[in-house]
Chains A and B, each alone.
Chain A
């Protein structure tokens, strides 16, 4: 088995920050799209 290297996470120190970022971003988009739909309906 090849030696296991220490995993490097892009930009942040922990994966949990990436989870927060994408979930937050997605929620932001959903709210934005909802308001967009409502505004022009």
Chain B
């Protein structure tokens, strides 16, 4: 890939701009309130951008367009439960957190139950967030490895190191202000990338024809029911039901009980402004995600009129060409180019037929295009199998590389640098928030709660910085083991979250709605629920989005049962804190 001097200039300038701006805005009180919560002084729009920046990691911008390219746009349904969850969180969670002036969501659980329940949920959060942040760190390293040929380990250490310095030195205020700038740059750059894909379409093919080609190849499957000829497919990952129901519980858990998000809206100057930030996020998320996926479809459409790589991972492609299976790969690639040639002719003919409004011809060409697309998919699958048997540890999945390959091959100098920069910005944006959340929980829920030594606000501030540093190192180490994760990175992170989110959400729901359940019942109920979630996942009984619902429901059920059977006398049955509904 040609990474020109102009690209380097744009990349370095953009990263420096963020770091300088972050340092400039990082002046805050040197105590826990200042470092972890920005003195609770931020306006709602900054909270909104901070929430969006925390959720939209580099993975979002790397792999989501690739997912639309390979599987179509149905991934957008994953976010359908989010808007409603935002309203519920504003009614149930936000007032409690603000009234109790907590630093972490889990502090509330001690006030409601006991210290062991608080520590258990905080531990589950630390475990899931620590691991998923490690996976997130690998995303920008993949960019440099694949496009510039940099060593993965070196790249991860280099990027993680920069991130740690920036995160540890800046406070929550710096995180929020840099996220504001990052989100603006990111969406502007993605819009330019989409515009460029449309601009490069051949003469006579506009955005409408491009969308028709994408749609007729099955890539605009935004709404899917999950129903097959054998009934509802519970293992289907993305459909309207798993999105609305499973996605609702996932969003409820992520925004209501995950400290990396709770920590963002606790920085608001008032309860009202926290709520407004969350509600606006609920309205904006689905259209924005739709836009990112649409970029993937436009890239797919663009490749129907030009030479499409048979395999998008440039580094692995090079290895393949020098391996013992090079001949087999070359034969498969030749076959792919032949199918592609046919597809190109059909796509051009389809574009012309659409312009002439010839319905009969359009129908005939649609069927032909679908058949050719099936052939292309089969050949690509055979190439993935060659990759799997040639490169040990690889799963042959090139979804993460589709967008990057397009950027590297077709975008002009300068814009390539900007796209690489936004990958870093998005990564920093979410990881900085996560590291702060991990440091907050370790400091507040464990260190401060369990330590018996009196200390000063300045020492607490220094300890928080030390924990951010330790978690940063932990995440970089995890990243070293995440390179060859099955499926795309975004799914790996989501699956990991679904293992724990349901259980954590269940504990909070018991706290708020089941006032007769005490600490012992919910503690053991949560442990049993976690065992159920892991069993359901291991036995492959349900798609991962349903695990959120299973985990939450299991905690409610087990806690209720344990309370009325084993702990009816031993546990306190009234909450220490009145919850306003």
Residues 81 to 108 of chain B near chain A (Cβ within 8 Å): 83-84, 86-87, 90-91, 95, 99-101
Give min CB distance, A18 to chain B, whole Å: 5
Q: For chain A residues 1-25, which have a beta carbon within 8 Å of chain B?
A: 1-2, 4-5, 7-11, 15, 18-19, 22-23, 25
Q: State A29–B82 Cα separation when bound (angstroms).
A: 13
Q: Using known A-B contacts A10-B279, A40-B220, determine if residue A30 contacts B240 with beta carbons closer than 8 Å.
A: yes
Residues of A within 8 A of B221 (CB): 37
Partner of B220, one of A9, A10, A37: A37
B550 adjacent to chain A (CB < 8 Å): no
Contacts of A11 in B (CB 8 A): 276, 279
Q: A30-B240, A37-B215, A40-B216 are in contact. Are A23 and B222 (CB under 8 A)?
A: no
**Which of B86, B90, B577 is most buried by chain A, counting CB atoms within 10 A of its CB?**
B90
Chain A residue contacts of B534, Cβ below 8 A:
none
Report whether B100 and A2 are in contact in the complex, using a CB–CB cutoff of 8 Å.
yes
Kindly state whether residue B110 has any CB partner on chain A within 8 Å: no
Chain A: CB-nearest residue to B219: A40
* Residue B214 interfacial (CB < 8 Å): yes
Question: B527 in the interface, Cβ–Cβ < 8 Å?
Answer: no
A37 CB contacts on chain B under 8 angstroms:
215, 220-223
How many chain B residues sit at the interface, stated as a range, is 35 or more
Q: Are the C-beta atoms of A40 and B214 separated by less than 8 Å?
A: yes
Interface flags, B14-29, vs A, CB<8A=1, else 0 = 0000000000000000
B99 and A40 form a contact (CB under 8 A): no
Q: Looking at the assembled complex, report how far the CB atom of B296 sits from the nearest CB atom of chain A, in whole angstroms.
A: 14
Give the CA-CA distance A18 to B221 in the complex, in Å. Answer: 29
Q: Flag whether B271 is at the interface (Cβ < 8 A).
A: yes
Complex CA gap A6/B179 in Å reads 32
Which residue of chain B has its CB nearest to the CB of A7? Answer: B95
Closest-CB distance, B271 to chain A (whole angstroms):
7
Contact of B87 among A7, A8, A19 (CB under 8 A): A19
Chain B residues contacting A1 (CB-CB under 8 Å) are 577-578
B365 at interface, CB cutoff 8 A: no
CA distance A33 to B282 in the complex (A): 17
Instruction: Tell whether, in the assembled complex, residue A15 and residue B80 are in contact, meaning their CB atoms are under 8 Å apart.
Output: no
B580 touching A4, Cβ below 8 Å: yes
Q: In the complex, A7→B212 CA distance in Å?
A: 49
B222 touches A34 (CB 8 A): yes
Q: Are A18 and B211 in contact (CB under 8 A)?
A: no
Interface residues of B in 470-493 (CB under 8 A from A): none
Give complex CA distance A9, B279 in Å. Answer: 11
Whether B220 contacts A22 by the Cβ 8 Å rule is no
Q: B290 on the interface (CB 8 Å rule)? A: yes
Report which of B80, B212, B218 forms a contact with A30, defined as CB distance below 8 A: B80
For B283, the closest partner residue in chain A by CB is A25
Q: CA A34 – CA B286 in complex, angstroms?
A: 14
Option from B90, B215, B223, B271 in Cβ contact (under 8 Å) with A39 = B215
Nearest chain B CB to A1's CB is how many angstroms away?
Answer: 6
> Given A7-B95, A33-B290, A40-B216, A25 and B83 touching (CB < 8 A)?
yes
| A33 lies within 8 A of B279 (CB) | no
Q: Which residues of B contact A (CB under 8 A)?
A: 76, 80, 83-84, 86-87, 90-91, 95, 99-101, 211-212, 214-216, 218, 220-223, 240, 271-272, 275-276, 279, 282-283, 286-287, 290, 577-578, 580
Given contacts A30-B80, A36-B222, 8 further A-B contacts (CB under 8 A): A7-B271, A10-B90, A10-B279, A22-B87, A22-B283, A36-B220, A37-B215, A41-B220
